[in-house]
Amino acid sequence: MVSVSGAMRRVVVCMLALAFSLPALAAKPAHYVLGDTSARTPGQVRPGLLLMGGGDRNFEAMRWFMAKAGNGHIVVLRASQAGEIGEEFFKEVGGIASVETYVFSDRESATDPAMLRSLKRADGIFLAGGDQSRYVRYWRGTPVAAALDAHVRAGKPLGGTSAGLAMQGEYLYGAMDGGSQISPRALADPLGPENTIEADFLHLALLQGVITDTHFSERNRLGRLIAFVAKAESIAKRPLIGLGVDEDAAVAVEGDGSARVYATAPGAGATVVKGGFAQVQAEDQAMNLDRVDTVVAGVRSVLHLPSGHVEKPAAERHYAVRKGVLVAMESPLLVIHGGAGVERASMTPAEEAAARIALEAALRAGHAQLSAGKPALDAVTAAITVLEDAPQFNAGRGAVFTHDGRNELDSSIMDGTTGKAGAVAGVQRVRNPITLARAVMDRSRHVMMVGGGAEAFAKEQGVPLVDPSYFRTEKRWQQLQQALKEEAKAQASATPLVLPGKAYFGTVGALALDAQGHLAAGTSTGGMTNKRYGRVGDAPIIGAGTWADERCAVSGTGWGEYYIRMAAAHEICARVRLSGEGLARAAEGVINGDIPKAGGDGGAIALGADGSVTFPFNTEGMYRGWIGVDGVPHVAVYAGEGWAISPAKAP
């Protein structure tokens, strides 16, 4: 009699033998189909490359791509998600015979015969976004990469977005460590292991000598692209160029290499970084470059690849990199504010006109310093001095009154290059508190002085003093009287006096970037109407209302207590430095995110060493303005007013 255990052993042996005798099942990518793949291609198939920056679908650019494919059969390759992009191409972009989407989950899928047959007969191939390290691992050195090269050599169009664009250059950032590199880290060690530059993936003639990047302006990626070019040049041993495409842009490249930009947002385009850097970088050391030249291709430009030459460029910008910090050169810029909390209902047309005139005067005063080659500190001081002398703003001459009917003034200034700072608080006789703050920084061992001691120092240093009556304006006096009435009414009814956020507003500020790429920041205020007990807000507190370092400068205007608790100005610059956030995103997160969440409100101006600018605020209006190389002042008051800031030289 055969034992049960013996029988089981024979069954297992037979099953294993059967398994080893069967041919191995090849891995297959997931496959999604829309349309008739056997239909005749309606039009002529022509060569082209579509380089999309990764934002919302640019349908005009996509239709250019579909036309290049003869409005025939499109194959989409990706390594995540499913067939959604194919549905968008077929149903929303439209005008094509079919679209097939293949989703890869491993390298073995790159040998699937059915998929390779689809690639061979495709009229156009599109590489979707996703994790570019998967594309390198799954496709490099496989029949898929060979098929892509053959497709382009056959005169057929190839497109890609986000990671699908990043894969197309001769050299590429592979993100092989599983992360996504940010500009500060990339510049801190350009030849380091985190800048994972790969090669020998695709071999496209029009992108030879090119390394691409996407989500460019939106994710603050100029710095990392410069670092990528440096590392790729160390591998190639020859000059290369970088091509960064903004999220809201796409570059459509004809078969002869001429290209145009399709944009879905004003100012979106593509930036060419000219390589051939003069200084050789070293591993484990921060980047230092005396000069980096860039050219921006806009919707009216013609870009030529692979040379990177741009006809009718939207801008030409010059940078340097100092100890890993990217700075704009030869592009002095001044940014100012006259306070958030502006309300249409509380201002007459004449008052608004006067405020705009004063803002323009402040911009011209600061610009005069910058155009004369003076440092950023001089421009900040000059601009704020004009704003302090203008009665339209709550600083200097236009300061509000305290509960006791006095004017108590606060101010601060900071040098982004040296980290030096000066501040004063509670002064009552200093005509221009910003000049005293500057004196504290330049001529003392201290950072902040207050009250009578600060005024004694002012007298010693020859800083102009005035009789307190100089600061009295009838409008501010009447605001105090109204506040006192409201306070008395609340006390009489035994109800707490709840002040609106605008009661805490009223500040002026200025930021400057000089021709040498150095930053400075300053802020000045009269505080809040009916304040008591020597209350001091954020304006004179370094890190709260004012901050400048080598890469970022901020001046705040809002509910000071919240700015102090958040260290708001410093927090914005810390996010830029530590997390690699773009300036606009960092400022938005603090001013329109963290501060309102905590119960405060207000605004700020922020200026990057790379020339980036942002003006976040969450009130009806904020007095603000900027002036660049051309000396033309730009001012705005209410939300919705704006300008496309392009301070760099443009032909």
Q: Which residues are catalytic?
A: 507
Cα separation, 9 vs 367, whole angstroms:
90
Task: Count the helices and strands in the chain (H runs, E runs).
Answer: 18, 30
Q: Kindly report the length of the chain.
A: 651
Residue with tokens 């996509």: 62
Which of 521, 535, 504 lies closest to 408, judged by CA? 535
Count of beta carbons in the 10 Å neighbourhood of residue 331: 22
Q: Are residues 328 and 611 in contact, defined by beta-carbon separation less than 8 angstroms?
A: yes
Half-sphere exposure of 462 (CA within 13 A, CB side): 1
What is the residue type of 477? W
The CA-based dihedral angle spanning residues 411, 412, 413, 419, taken in that order and rounded to the nearest 10 degrees: 170
Q: Say which residue the tokens 């890609």 belong to.
A: 160
Which helix (DSSP H) or strand (DSSP E) does residue 165 occupy? helix 163-166
Residue 144 CA to residue 164 CA, distance in Å, equals 14
**Residue 337 has which token pair?**
């504010």
278-313 burial, b for 16+ CB within 10 Å, e for fewer?
A: eeebeeeebbbbeebebbbbbeebebbbbebbbeeb
Q: Does 143 sit behind a cis peptide bond, omega within 30 degrees of 0 on the bond before it?
A: no
Q: How far apart are CA 331 and CA 308, in angstroms?
A: 23
What is the DSSP annotation of 370-401? HHTT--HHHHHHHHHHHHHH-TTSSSGGGPPP
How many Cβ atoms from other residues are within 10 Å of residue 429's Cβ? Answer: 18
